[in-house]
Amino acid sequence: MVAVVALTACTSAVSSDDNDSGAIVTSGSGGGQGGATLVDVDAAGTEPGSASAEAQGKSVEVLSADAIVAAQEEVVNRIYETALPSVVQIRVTHKIGEESSSPDAPGSPELPFDFNRFRDMPGVPDEFFRRGSGTGFIWDEEGPIVTNHHVIDGADRITVIFSDRTEMDAKLLGSDPDSDLAVLQIDVSGAATQPVPLADSDAVKVGQMAAAIGNPFGQEFTITTGIISAVGRTIRSGNGAFSVPKVLQTDAPINPGNSGGPLLDRQGRVVGVNTQIIGRSGSSAGVGFAVPINAAKRVIPVVINEGAYKYAWLGISGSTLSPDVAELMDLPEHTNGILVIAASEDGPAQQADLRGSDRTVESEGIEYPVGGDVIVSINDFPTNEMDELISYLIDKTRPGDEVALEVIRDGERQSIKVNLGTRPIL
C-alpha cells in the first residue's frame, strides 16, 4: 500500500506543488475515482491503523495501476501543452562557396561529392547550400530565442518556426561558444512571445522527471521523457578547449535536432539546454547532456547586451590530484587538490610564478606528471577536484579579479596571488 502511495506523488491530484510528502492528500471523503480507494495514512506514508496515521487523521487516494499511468500521461501532456508555445524549430542555411566545397579546404568536413565538377554545367547555381536544424525557446517577453552556439555557427540564414506554423527570419544577437549558448532575435510584432519559466538547476536532483521538447531528425515539436540520471557532470564544450561544469545528464532521448531545446522538469520549467549526447551511432543511447539553466541565466543577459560573454582565465592545465600521484610526490596521505601540469605561456598563472610539473615518473607502466604546484584552495574555498576550481572561476570571478591561491610547493604551503585574465578564444 505504501509503495503505491509513493508512486502517485507526482500526479495532478497533489493538493499543491510544494507537497513533497510522498502522499496524495485529499480534502474530501468518499470512495475515490478511477478505481481508487481512500485510506487513512500519515504524511510519511504510515500504513493504515498505526498510531501515527490515526493521530494525523488524513485521507489519501490510492490509485489503481491504470489511474497511475493516466496521471503520468496527464503530467507529460501538461508539460507539452504549456511549453509548446515557447519552443521553436530552427532551420539554418550555410552557403558552400568554391573553397569550402572542396574536401581539401582546411577545417571543412569531407564531402561525399566533388561539387566543383558541376559548376560549369548549364542551369547549375553558382552557390550550393547546406541546411541543418535545431531547437530553441523564448527567453523573455522581448522575444530573444536561446539555442546552442553549434546550431547557428556559421549560418548565413536562420529561420524560426513556431508550433502554429508561424515562420520568420531571425538574426544572431550573439553567442558564447564555451557554454554552447547563442541568442537570436525575431520581430516580436509578428509572433506571440511567451517565455518558458526557468527553474533553479542547482536544486535539480537525480531521479526527478525530465522532458525534452525539440525536433529530432526534423520531426518537429517532439517530446521525449526520462529522468535526471546524474548532476554535476563536466563536459568539454563542443566548440573549444574549455569545459562546462555542473552539466545535467538525462536519459530522456536526445537526438540530432534536439540541440538548443529545453530540458524541462515536471512543472514545465527549464532546467537545462540540451547540447550533447554520447553514442556510437550518432543517436540517443540514453546518455544526454544539458547546459544547466543557471549558467544560461548568467550568460544570456550579457550576450543580449554585449554580443559575447567574457570568462575569467587562470591559464593552467591541471588534473585532480590522485592518491597515486600524491604518494609519488611524497605528500601526506589524504592530500587533496589540483596538480598544475602546465601554466600557459605569458598567462596569469605563469606571471604569478605558478609552477607546472617538471618531470614524469613511471609507476606500473604508467607515466605520471609530478613536481608541479598543488592548488588546495582559491580565496579560502577548498578545491579538492578540478571541477570545483572550474566552477568557482566561472561562478565567482570576472576578468581582472585578484584571487589568492593556497598551493603546496615542495611539501610546503604558501599563498600566491593571481590577477585573472580574460579567457582567450581557442
CATH of the domain at 384: 2.30.42.10
CATH number at residue 255: 2.40.10.10
Residue 152 is given by DSSP the state H
Per-residue pLDDT tens over the stretch 332-382:
989 999 999 999 999 999 999 999 999 999 888 888 899 999 999 999 999
Residues 295 and 321 in one domain: no
Residues 93 and 176 in one domain: yes
- Residue 89 domain flag: yes
With beta carbons less than 8 A apart as the criterion, state whether 106 and 46 touch: no
Given 42, 180, 251, 265, the catalytic residue = 180
Higher pLDDT, 358 or 111: 358
- Residue 377 domain flag: yes
Residues 205 and 186 in one domain: no
Residues 174 and 214 in one domain: no
With beta carbons less than 8 A apart as the criterion, state whether 272 and 293 touch: yes
Q: What are phi and psi of 391, to 5 degrees?
A: -65, -40
- Residue 216 domain flag: yes
Given 86, 150, 176, 179, the catalytic residue = 150
User: Which domain range does residue 391 map to?
Assistant: 312-422
pLDDT mean over 182-207: 91
List residues bridging with 277 in a β-sheet. 288
Q: At which of 273, 289, 306 does a domain end? A: 306
User: Residue 104 pLDDT more than 50?
Assistant: no
- Mean pLDDT (the chain) is 82
Residue 415 cell numbers, joined: 599563498
Residues 206 and 299 in one domain: yes
Residues 211 and 277 in one domain: yes
Q: At which of 131, 156, 190 does a domain end? A: 190
**Torsion 26-29-34-37 (CA) sign:** positive
List residues bridging with 212 in a β-sheet. 224, 263
Has 66 been annotated as catalytic?
no
Q: What is the chain's Cα-based Rg? A: 26
Has 180 been annotated as catalytic?
yes
- Residue 288 domain flag: yes
Residues 19 and 46 in one domain: yes
Q: What are phi and psi of 258, to 5 degrees?
A: -80, -15
Q: What are phi and psi of 291, to 5 degrees?
A: -65, 130
Residues 129 and 224 in one domain: no
Q: Which amino acid, one-letter code, is at 332?
A: P
- Residue 74 domain flag: no
Residues 89 and 171 in one domain: yes
Domain count, the chain: 4
- Residue 69 domain flag: no
pLDDT of residue 19: 40
112-129 core/surface letters (b: 16 or more CB in 10 A; e: else): eeebeeeeeeeeeeeebe
Given 100, 175, 237, 259, the catalytic residue = 259
Rounded Cα gap, residues 203 and 56, in angstroms: 30
Residues 140 and 214 in one domain: no
Per-residue pLDDT tens over the stretch 283-337:
677 799 999 999 999 999 999 999 999 999 999 999 999 999 999 999 998 999 9
User: Residue 178 pLDDT more than 70?
Assistant: yes
User: Residue 111 pLDDT more than 90?
Assistant: no
Q: At which of 289, 306, 323 does a domain end? A: 306
Q: Find all residues with CB under 8 Å of 301, minimum gap 6, and list them.
A: none
- Residue 368 domain flag: yes
Residues 411 and 373 in one domain: yes
Residues 296 and 344 in one domain: no
